[in-house]
Chains A and B, each alone.
Chain A
Amino acid sequence: MLKELAKFKGFSAKNLPKEEPFAPGHRACQGCGEVLALRLALKALGMNVIAVSATGCMEIISSPFPYTSWRVPWIHIAFENAAAVASGVEAALKALKRKGRFPKNRRVDVVAFAGDGGTADIGLQALSGALERGHDFVYICLDNEAYMNTGVQRSGCTPYGAMTTTSPPGEKSIGQMTWKKNVPAIAAAHGIPYVATATPAFFLDLMNKVKKAALVNGPAYVHIYSPCPTGWGSKGEDSIRLARLAVETRIFPLYEVIEGKYYITRKVTKPKPVEEYLKLQRRFRHLTEEHIREIQQRVDAEYERLLRLAECL
Chain B
Amino acid sequence: MPKGKDTALMSWKEVPFGCYILEPGNSVKFKTGDWRSFRPVLDKEKCIKCGQCYIMCPEPAYEQDEEGYYIVNLTYCKGCGICASVCPKGAITMVIEEV
Pick out which of these stretches binds chain B: A18-26, A80-88, A297-305.
A18-26
A70 at the interface (CB under 8 A from B): yes
Considering only residues 52-81 of chain B, those with a C-beta below 8 Å from chain A are: 55-61, 73, 75-76, 78-81
Write out the residue numbers on chain B whose beta carbons fall within 8 Å of the beta carbon of A63.
Answer: 21
Contact at B24–A68, with CB atoms within 8 Å? Answer: yes
The answer to the question of B85 belonging to the interface, with a C-beta cut-off of 8 Å to chain A, is: yes
> Contact: A24 with B61, CB < 8 Å?
yes
Asked, given contacts A13-B51, A67-B29, whether A72 binds B10 with beta carbons under 8 Å apart, the answer is no
Query: B25 contacts A36, CB within 8 Å?
Result: no
Interface hits, A36-76 → B, CB 8 Å: 36, 39-40, 62-63, 65-72
Per the bound structure, the CA–CA distance linking A20 and B24 in Å amounts to 12
Known: A27-B32, A66-B10, A237-B84. A72 touches B58 (CB 8 A): no
Is the CB of A159 closer than 8 A to any CB of chain B?
no
Q: Is the CB of A24 within 8 A of B80?
A: no
Q: For the complex, is A31 an interface residue (Cβ under 8 Å from B)?
A: yes
By the criterion CB–CB under 8 Å, are B26 and A67 in contact? yes
Determine if A240 and B51 form an interchain contact, defined as CB atoms under 8 angstroms apart: no
Instruction: Name, among B73, B80, B85, the residue most crowded by chain A CB atoms within 10 Å (CB to CB).
Output: B80
CA distance A36 to B50 in the complex (A): 18
**Cα A30 to Cα B24 with chains together (Å):** 23
Q: Mark A203-238, 1 if CB is under 8 A from B, else 0.
A: 100000000000000000000000000000001111
Q: Given the complex, which residues of A lie within 8 Å of B29, measured CB to CB? A: 25, 67
CB distance from A227 to the nearest CB of B (A): 10
Contact of B80 among A20, A30, A72, A203 (CB under 8 A): A30
Chain A residues closer than 8 Å to B85, beta-carbon distance: 237-238, 240-241
Point out the residues of chain B lying under 8 angstroms from A200, CB to CB.
56
A65 touches B59 (CB 8 A): no
Q: A167 within 8 Å of B by Cβ?
A: no
Cβ-defined contact, A35 with B24, below 8 A: no
CB–CB B19/A30 < 8 A: no
The answer to whether B78 and A30 touch across the interface, beta carbons within 8 angstroms, is yes
- Residues from chain A with a CB closer than 8 A to the CB of B94 are 237
Asked if B58 and A39 make an inter-chain contact with CB atoms under 8 angstroms apart, the answer reads yes
State whether A25 touches B30 (Cβ < 8 A).
yes
Establish whether residues A25 and B76, one from each chain, have CB atoms under 8 Å apart when the complex forms: yes
- Of B27, B31, B58, B78, chain A has the most CB atoms within 10 Å of the CB of B58
Q: CB-defined interface of A235-268 with B at 8 Å, one 1/0 digit per residue?
A: 1111111000000000000000000000000000
B61: chain A residues within 8 A (beta carbon): 24
The answer to whether B21 and A24 touch across the interface, beta carbons within 8 angstroms, is no
Q: Are B24 and A66 closer than 8 Å at their CB atoms? A: no
A-B pairs, top 5 by smallest CB distance, nearest first, are: A237-B81, A25-B27, A31-B80, A23-B25, A236-B80
A-B contact pairs, 22 of them (CB 8 A): A13-B50, A23-B27, A23-B28, A24-B61, A24-B73, A27-B30, A28-B58, A32-B58, A36-B58, A39-B58, A65-B9, A66-B9, A66-B21, A67-B27, A68-B23, A69-B25, A72-B24, A203-B56, A236-B82, A237-B94, A240-B82, A241-B85
Residues of chain A at the chain B interface (Cβ within 8 Å):
13, 16, 20, 23-28, 30-33, 35-36, 39-40, 62-63, 65-72, 200, 203, 235-241
Known pairs A16-B51, A68-B26, A240-B56; list 6 more (Cβ under 8 Å): A31-B58, A31-B80, A68-B21, A237-B80, A239-B58, A240-B82
